[in-house]
């Protein structure tokens, strides 16, 4: 039944173009810088030839603004996770990734987020300048990709969250999130994770550049909620939620900030 409903939804999505998901105009992004690194490696001479081959690798990293002025998106021009996303809201959550740990060592970095082909870095405060953070982050990312180390040893949140146990409404909600909403959110350096549907309320967790973004409320109300209600009459509202561990991390960080300011 759920499969037939998803097929019907796909036909409906193709037929109706009036409900295209769009963020507010102020959230449009633009590339504003590029960092290029070059490394060379000498191979050992081949037996009997006496020749040494030198291979040169180029890594061009672009940075991209996001709707959140405290978040910056880094695109190394190669896969990061390949698929799925991984959120590091605090240094204590970065044990599974050497790159995330190095990025947290940069003064002013509050959180790190990995996407399929991008890395989002969020700074502690708008008053903190991007200049030094960006320079150190570019160097760290370039060095990491040259090392060939694995990006993570932890579990990755994959986009497709469909399950055979989902009821019809939840299946349609997840289908819309995966096909229409998540791609746009990831373009802006974040992700949206389905956390539940209860009494007409869709519960979502926004991560990456969406965390603490001034326009996140507009995104939920004018973007995600409107689209879900357009296709699913049973949806009354969309609510942003946080995991318990995220709430604890936010409180610890807030307490630390307050102590530093005293």
HSE, CB side, 13 Å, CA atoms: give it for residue 205. 17
DSSP secondary structure string for all residues of 172-203: HHHHHIIIIIHHHHHHTTEEEEEEEEETTEEE
Residue 233: the pLDDT is 92
Give CA–CA dist 187/162, Å, rounded.
22
The span from the CA of 195 to the CA of 189, in Å, is 20
Helix locations, the chain, DSSP H: 2-15, 98-104, 130-147, 168-176, 182-187, 216-218, 226-231, 244-261
User: CA–CA separation, 70 vs 209, rounded Å?
Assistant: 8
Q: Tell me the pLDDT tens digit for each residue of 114-134.
A: 999 999 999 988 788 899 999
pLDDT of residue 4: 46
Tell me the mean pLDDT in the region 175-188.
87
Q: How far apart are CA 161 and CA 173, in angstroms?
A: 10
Query: What are the pLDDT digits (tens) for 2-52?
Result: 444 444 555 444 444 434 444 444 434 444 456 665 554 444 444 444 433
Write down the mean pLDDT value for the chain: 75
**Would you identify the CATH topology of the domain 25-40+56-147?**
Ribosomal Protein S8; Chain: A, domain 1 (3.30.1370)
Share of the chain above pLDDT 70, in %: 64
Which of the four pLDDT bands, split at 50, 70 and 90, describes residue 242? confident
Whether the predicted pLDDT of 180 surpasses 70: yes
Q: What is the pLDDT of residues 134-175, one digit of tens each?
A: 999 999 999 999 998 999 887 776 655 667 777 889 989 998
Q: For the segment 202-235, what is each residue's pLDDT rounded down to a tens digit?
A: 998 888 877 766 665 666 666 788 889 999 999 9
Rounded to whole angstroms, the Cα distance separating 87 from 155 reads 10
Confidence grade of residue 189 (pLDDT, cut at 50, 70, 90): confident
**What CATH class is the domain 2-23+162-246?**
alpha beta
pLDDT band for position 58 (50/70/90)? low
Phi, psi of 178 (to 5 degrees): -70, -40
**Residue ranges of the domains in the chain?**
2-23+162-246, 25-40+56-147
Q: Residue 140 has what pLDDT?
A: 95
């Amino acid at each position: 039944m759920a499969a037939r409903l998803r097929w019907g939804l796909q036909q409906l999505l193709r037929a109706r173009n009036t409900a295209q998901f769009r963020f507010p105009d102020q959230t449009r992004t633009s590339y504003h810088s590029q960092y290029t690194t070059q490394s060379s490696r000498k191979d050992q001479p081949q037996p009997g030839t006496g020749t040494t081959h030198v291979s040169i690798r180029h890594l061009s990293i672009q940075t991209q603004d996001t709707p959140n002025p405290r978040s910056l998106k880094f695109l190394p021009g190669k896969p990061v996770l390949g698929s799925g996303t991984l959120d590091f809201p605090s240094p204590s959550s970065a044990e599974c990734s050497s790159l995330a740990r190095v990025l947290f060592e940069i003064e002013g970095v509050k959180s790190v987020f990995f996407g399929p082909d991008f890395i989002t870095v969020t700074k502690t405060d708008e008053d903190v300048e991007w200049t030094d953070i960006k320079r150190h982050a570019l160097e760290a990312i370039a060095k990491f990709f040259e090392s060939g180390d694995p990006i993570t040893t932890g579990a990755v949140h994959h986009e497709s969250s469909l399950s055979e146990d989902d009821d019809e409404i939840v299946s349609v909600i997840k289908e819309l999130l995966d096909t229409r909403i998540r791609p746009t959110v990831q373009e802006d350096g974040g992700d949206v994770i389905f956390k539940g549907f209860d009494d007409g309320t869709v519960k979502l967790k926004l991560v990456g550049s969406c965390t603490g973004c001034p326009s996140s409320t507009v995104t939920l109300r004018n973007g995600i909620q409107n689209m879900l209600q357009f296709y699913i009459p049973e949806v009354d509202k969309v609510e942003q939620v946080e995991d318990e561990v995220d709430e604890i991390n936010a409180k610890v960080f807030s307490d630390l900030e307050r102590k530093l300011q005293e």
